[in-house]
Structure 1
């Protein structure tokens, strides 16, 4: 049997270019959908990024960013010497760690149980009810929260009606943290389950069929098949959650805090708002934001490295 020579064809750049153009013509609608998000991130994230030099300048809005005098690390030193800043950092870390330790597993558990529901109509109804809070504005949630948790709110009215004493959910430090956690979980848990349910839909159903033939219970299949199959998604979400420990959203703390609980309710985002906007000290606000971004970046890298070393899974 004679050996036939290999027919090695050289790639034609012109054909590659035509293939790319043909692909873009077929799928142009999908790239058009990306136009607005890309424009948003360009205008409000990347194009605004040079403005971080304000942190190193004595910013004067009349002189502009580039004509304002340089002061080096002066504003970073002021922030480091501020007791209010470190109090805000402590509160932020307390709330974030509480949300990570107690709140992170809840969407996974909820998604596992939702995945076990066989009745399609009931499952979709439950999912819709759980997703709805995500679409409610924090301003509306704040009003609802006061109607429910205030001294004269729904819960305390029921407690008083049963002969008990009113619980100071919004004016006691410990109860405020508890209320903050409960409200945050209620608003986000349904939406976060989407990610895990999407990962579960990609699991090969033949694995479940083989497990049923072997006599596995539904709980055993959940722990031995579903959980291992979504571990990559869980690892990625955990890395992102750890990477966000040094930052916290503005809306929920701002809406829920009041003067009686500022000792535990004032976080870095509200500190930046108060100093940067209310006191018009833009340089300090920018310095805090830049420091947060650097710390978050380091945390993401560290969490990714630890995850790859422990489980072999990471973002990159």
Structure 2
């Protein structure tokens, strides 16, 4: 067996930890103190992220031994971050002026650039999670291609059906929804299953972001829950279905579909509960140490100036 350098493996795992923490903060932007972010992130990674990563990926881990399938982080990264983001933004409260004042993305160009970087990087995440260059890594790569393409197109289709134009922002949102959904399924699905998974996740995430969030009224600034949380749940549960050989998946049929789906649902439920409770603890410790929200004046002038003393533009 080829042995991977421990330093290389640490770096690979570290990138997952870094992106997961960043996703959580996507729900709290424009109102959380930088000092609170630093305290929260250190505690959250320690009590939420690391234990779930161990449960899912380590031999001897609770969900690993249960037989839960998570190729590259559907539970560990996306459900974990999405649920934590929802809890954090509910505790933090809404931005001043939300939802009556329009708050569009300030740069669609950078949104496109970021989405492109994510999709390219995701090939490394998903194919790299096989930890060797073999057929399964190739399968993970093509699934990361086709599920994402499917989801980007289906989000724009959903926009048309809802009476809007197919938009660049919508395409980017769909791309992320597809990437999220295919993460647990990357090496656990055939390309056909991945295409279906991407389409379904995109349509459901579109509904949550455009219809459900305004109804419920929570202020998840960058839709971390609506896309990562919801897309992650669909991907994780869907993996139990697309894994089956009848859908072109790599499963050998030894675990019946319903049995696998039950395992996946259990893993999702445990991840949701762990993330929610851990986030409440982490955010209240941050509140105790630094306070959570910037002053109203800082929020109005913008956090670039108020928290960092610099302008982005």
TM-score by length of 1: 0.25
Greater CA radius of gyration, 1 or 2? 1
Compare relative contact order (CA 8 Å, sep 6+) and give the higher one, 1 or 2. Answer: 2
| TM-score, normalization by structure 2 | 0.25
